[in-house]
Amino acid sequence: MTAPMLDLARRAVACEGFRWMPGMLAVRVRSPVFFSEGVDPSHLVGRSYRVTEIRESTVHCAGEAFLTTLLNFAPDLTDPATLGCLLALVREAWKSPVAQISPSLPDGHIWTCYINDEANDRLFRERTEAEALVAALEAAADRSGDAP
């Protein structure tokens, strides 16, 4: 996983609407003893684990378990199952079961997450599918904070 994808994964985990779901791929992020300028955070990514279940505040994976509050695990946003779970979280956060994600045609270099909100339709356009989904999840939290 690249450094920008790791940063994006951390943004996703920080969202109010994020939670670990069975099927997601969790990657262990090792913390360096010291962090110096020029260290590529992607070199800190270790093994990945498929989430099998969540019990109370513990995420269980094949051969591993971690607390949902730990920051040394991040969702692998290059994994198709994890992206599907992220779309489910976007639908839940926006209360829009028809929210969808698709590449913009004809070039496919921009992804659009379409939300059919009660008030109006919303579009989140980003360079990657993961970026569009995280932007939609972040915006849902911003919207809920504005509600009376």
Domains in the chain, number: 1
- From first to last of its 148 residues, the chain has per-residue pLDDT tens of 778 888 899 999 999 999 999 999 998 876 544 444 555 555 555 678 889 998 888 898 877 788 777 677 899 999 999 999 999 999 999 999 999 999 987 766 899 999 987 777 899 999 999 999 999 999 998 775 544 3
Give me the pLDDT at residue 30, please. 66
Give me the domain span that covers residue 50.
3-146
Give me the pLDDT at residue 147, please. 45
Residue 68: exposed, middle, or buried by beta-carbon count in 10 A (0-12, 13-18, 19+)? middle
Residue 119: exposed, middle, or buried by beta-carbon count in 10 A (0-12, 13-18, 19+)? exposed
